[in-house]
Amino acid sequence: MRILIRKLFLFLFISVFSLITFGQKRKPVNMIPILWEKKTVHFGFSLGFNAMDFNITPSLANLRADSLYPEVSILNPGINIQIVSGYRPSEYLEIRFLPGVSFGQRNIRYYKEKVIYNQQQRLESSFLEFPLLLKYKGDRLNNVRPFLIGGLNYRYDLAGKKEFDDEKPVYIRIKRPDLYYEMGAGLDFYLTYFKLSVELKMSNGLGNIIADEAASNHEQFRNAIEKMKSQIWVLAFHFE
C-alpha cells in the first residue's frame, strides 16, 4: 500500500506540474466560485482520509542481543476533519490555515529470527492539528486549476498515554507533540456554485516520538527501537 500511495503522489505531482507548464484551449468558466476565490479572505471545510506510518530505525545493539526487529505491518485508513481559512496576498499565492482533528492507528509487528513475534503493538492516535501552508496556484485552465502546497503542521496526540495500561498489551508509548513538514499537490475544480479541491499530501514528523520509558517486564519492545519518526499520507477534499 505504501508503494501505491507513493506512485499516486508522484502521478498527481507530475500531472499538476504539467498543467502548470502547458496551456490548453480555454472554455467558459463557472464564475461564482471564481468570484468567491478572489476575496482576500475566504473559508470552507475539509474532509479527508489518511494513512499513518512510522519510519523506524531499529536498535542494532538490541538486534544482536535478543533478535527483535520492528516494522510497521500494515497501513490502516483514518479520517481528517478541518476548517479551511485562506488569505490571498496575490493572484497565485495563498496562505492557508486548516485547524482540525485527525484519527488513525499504526500497528508495529516484531520479528524474531525472521519469524513473526507473538505480540503486535497497536498505537492509536487522535491528533489536534494546526497546519500553516503556502499554496502556489497555476493558471486556471477552463474550470480546473492545479496547485502545489507546502508548509508546517503542529500536531498534538490526545491519545498519547502518560502511563501504561495494564489491561492492554501495548508496551511502547509515543510522545504527544510533534512538528511536521508537509508538501503536496492537487487540483481545484470550479463547479457551478462552489470550488472542490482534491489534494494529496505527504507529512513527515521532525522529532523522535517514541517515549523513553519502557513497560515493566516488557523492555524488549522499547529497546528494539532506536528512533521512530511519524509519517502521514493525506488525501483531502476541500469545499470552498
The pLDDT tens digits for 155-181 are 999 988 767 777 788 889 999 999 999
For the chain, domains (ranges, CATH) are: 2-23+40-239 (2.40.160.20)
Given this model, what pLDDT does residue 113 score?
74
- Tens of pLDDT, residue by residue over 108-125, are 988 887 677 767 898 999
* pLDDT band per the 50, 70, 90 thresholds, residue 1: low
25 or 102, higher pLDDT: 102
Region 200-209 average pLDDT: 96
> Which of left, alpha, beta for 204 (phi over 0: left; psi -120 to 50: alpha)?
beta
Region 85-110 average pLDDT: 94
Is 240's pLDDT higher than 60? yes
CA angle 52, 42, 90 (to 5 degrees): 95
Given this model, what pLDDT does residue 155 score?
97
Dihedral sign for Cα 33, 34, 39, 41, please. Answer: positive
C-alpha 167/C-alpha 136 separation (Å) is 49
- Tens of pLDDT, residue by residue over 33-71, are 777 778 899 999 999 999 999 999 988 776 665 578 888
Given this model, what pLDDT does residue 23 score?
47
C-alpha 27/C-alpha 15 separation (Å) is 20
Q: What percent of the chain has pLDDT over 90?
A: 53
